[in-house]
């Protein structure tokens, strides 16, 4: 079964690692479907029914995005608000249409990994900062997996670091 990769990056042409991840994923159309929200909805007008139908076709879904201000880009938050509707994603009469799907986050961060340790510069771990995602997915009864995180992209854009990021991401997806 293919994995749906929902990409949310408002500046993908300026991206370093997310753009590379997409290029690599597109080499394997038998394994991955890449759905870029900014390309699909440049004005932010999400087609809720189309998105719900798309999600229903996949058992494994990864949300790929850069970590902006310790959160996701605005269009992903809007996607959650618009697509995860009462009666479809949750509610006693909904049938929990996402129930049992395997879900994960793939996050790129400009920060050093040590900055996101309990005693680090920002005082909170990535697990703590992504807890709202975990709770959202728990609420709609999906099988939430620990996120994939690729750090230090702002400070280390060497070819070897980027190649490591691509390799690590594909390994994560293969085990997902």
**CA-closest candidate to residue 67, choices 122, 141, 142, 139:** 122
Residue 138 contacts residue 98 (beta carbons within 8 Å): no
Which class in CATH covers the domain with range 3-175?
alpha beta
Structure token pair of residue 164: 């490591």
The full set of domain ranges for the chain reads 3-175
pLDDT digits (tens, 9 = 90+) for 65-109: 999 899 999 999 999 999 999 999 999 887 899 999 999 999 999
Instruction: Return d(Cα 46, Cα 10) in angstroms, integer.
Output: 15
Instruction: Return d(Cα 81, Cα 10) in angstroms, integer.
Output: 18
Q: Work out the average pLDDT over 139-157.
A: 89
pLDDT at position 157 over 90: no
Sorting pLDDT into bands at 50, 70 and 90, what band is 156? low
Residue 64 contacts residue 106 (beta carbons within 8 Å): yes
pLDDT at position 169 over 80: yes
Instruction: Return d(Cα 148, Cα 105) in angstroms, integer.
Output: 6
Write down the pTM of the prediction: 0.96
53, 56, 60, 65 alpha-carbon torsion, rounded to 10°: 30
């Amino acid at each position: 079964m293919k994995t749906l990769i929902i990409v949310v990056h408002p500046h993908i042409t300026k991206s370093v690692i997310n753009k590379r991840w997409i290029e690599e994923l597109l080499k394997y159309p038998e394994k991955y479907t890449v759905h870029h929200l900014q390309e699909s909805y440049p004005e932010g007008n999400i087609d809720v029914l189309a998105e719900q139908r798309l999600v229903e076709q996949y058992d494994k879904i990864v949300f790929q995005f850069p970590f902006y201000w310790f959160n996701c880009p605005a269009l992903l938050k809007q996607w959650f608000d618009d697509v995860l509707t009462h009666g479809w994603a949750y509610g006693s009469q909904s049938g929990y249409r996402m129930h049992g799907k395997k879900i994960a986050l793939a996050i790129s961060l400009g920060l050093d990994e040590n900055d996101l340790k309990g005693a680090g510069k920002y005082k909170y771990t990535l697990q703590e900062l992504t807890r709202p995602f975990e709770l959202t997915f728990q609420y709609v009864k999906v099988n939430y997996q620990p996120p994939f995180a690729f750090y230090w992209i702002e400070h280390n854009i060497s070819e070897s670091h980027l190649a490591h990021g691509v390799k690590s991401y594909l390994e994560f997806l293969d085990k997902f």
